[in-house]
């Protein structure tokens, strides 16, 4: 693909009245696999789908004077720890960017740690007086995105009997295939499911059984056994 030197500027979205580039990311520990939104790619100077994010690529954009800080952030991320950091990166065009990166632990339904998810906000052109409003809006936006994606994942897990990781991979695949933002795709799934044809009586009875016995046995399942 051709390079998009203005990608970071074009990726801007309104956060608390301040136009800034912001986007989300995920890292799965076992697979050592990254996912990032088009906005995060643009902050680093890349167009949508132009590169596959990797740890090496992330580190290649570190600012020399913030080397230790960035490496600490990456290590926290790779270990699935919650973190927050303000530091500098150098985008593909050589421009220094000030970014806020916030990550949170990501777990599967059993509570097992499986990775880290969070967001980037490009603070390069934000004045100090606007920073808190921008950060608060970014956190709120991320929380809303995470909630609806988790809802859609749960629907896929229940319907197809798949894991949380696999459900997220399916959503990501459909997002890429249809060129639809992940949050928008998840929101469409959740909204379309509201008022849809109810599930069959047998499935409902099985789920009733699971709901009423889940506090007792780990073996409870939709099979009703």
How far is CA 99 from its chain centroid? 17
SS (H, E, C) 100-152: EEEEEEEECCCCCEEEEEEEEEECCCCCHHHHHHHHHHHHHHHHHHHHHHHHH
**Strand pairing report for 113-122 and 96-107:** antiparallel
- % of the chain residues with pLDDT over 90: 12
Residue 216 lies in a domain: no
The pair of three-digit structure tokens given for residue 32, joined into one six-digit string: 């050592």
Q: How many CB atoms are located within 10 Å of the residue 208 CB? A: 11
Which one, of 132, 34, 141, 51, lies nearest residue 91 by Cα?
51
Give residue 163's domain range.
7-192
Residue 99 lies in a domain: yes
- Per residue in 98-111, pLDDT tens? 888 888 888 887 77
Residue 173 lies in a domain: yes
Q: Which residue has the tokens 């799934």?
A: 189
Residue 210 lies in a domain: no
Residue 1 lies in a domain: no
Residue 110 lies in a domain: yes
Residue 56 lies in a domain: yes
- Per residue in 69-90, pLDDT tens? 888 877 877 787 778 788 899 9
Q: What CATH number is associated with residue 155?
A: 3.30.450.20
List the pLDDT tens digit at each of the 225 positions of the chain.
Answer: 233 333 333 333 333 333 347 888 989 988 889 999 888 999 999 998 899 999 889 889 988 888 888 888 778 777 877 787 888 999 999 999 988 888 888 888 777 888 888 888 888 876 544 555 655 666 666 667 778 888 888 888 877 777 888 888 888 888 877 888 888 888 888 887 775 555 666 666 666 666 666 666 555 455 444
Q: Supply the pLDDT for residue 207.
A: 63
Total domains present in the chain: 1
- % of the chain residues with pLDDT over 70: 69
Residue 138 lies in a domain: yes
């Amino acid at each position: 693909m051709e390079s998009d030197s203005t990608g970071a500027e074009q990726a801007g979205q309104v956060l608390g009245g301040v136009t800034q580039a912001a986007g989300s990311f995920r890292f799965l520990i076992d697979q050592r696999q990254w996912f990032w939104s088009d906005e995060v790619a643009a902050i680093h100077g890349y167009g949508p789908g132009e590169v596959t994010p990797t740890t090496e690529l992330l580190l290649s954009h570190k600012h020399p004077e913030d080397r230790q800080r960035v490496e600490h952030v990456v290590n926290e991320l790779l270990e699935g720890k919650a973190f927050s950091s303000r530091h500098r990166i150098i985008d593909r065009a050589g421009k220094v960017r000030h970014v806020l990166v916030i990550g949170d632990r990501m777990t599967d339904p059993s509570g097992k740690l499986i990775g880290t998810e969070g967001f980037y906000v490009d603070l390069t052109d934000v004045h100090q007086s606007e920073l808190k409003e921008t950060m608060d809006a970014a956190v709120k936006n991320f929380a809303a995105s995470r909630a609806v994606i988790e809802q859609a994942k749960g629907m896929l897990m229940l319907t197809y009997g798949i894991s949380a990781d696999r459900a997220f991979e399916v959503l990501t695949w459909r997002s890429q295939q249809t060129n639809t933002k992940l949050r928008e795709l998840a929101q469409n799934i959740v909204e379309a499911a509201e008022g849809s044809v109810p599930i069959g009586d047998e499935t409902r009875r099985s789920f009733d059984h699971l709901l009423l016995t889940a506090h007792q046995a780990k073996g409870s399942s939709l099979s009703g056994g």
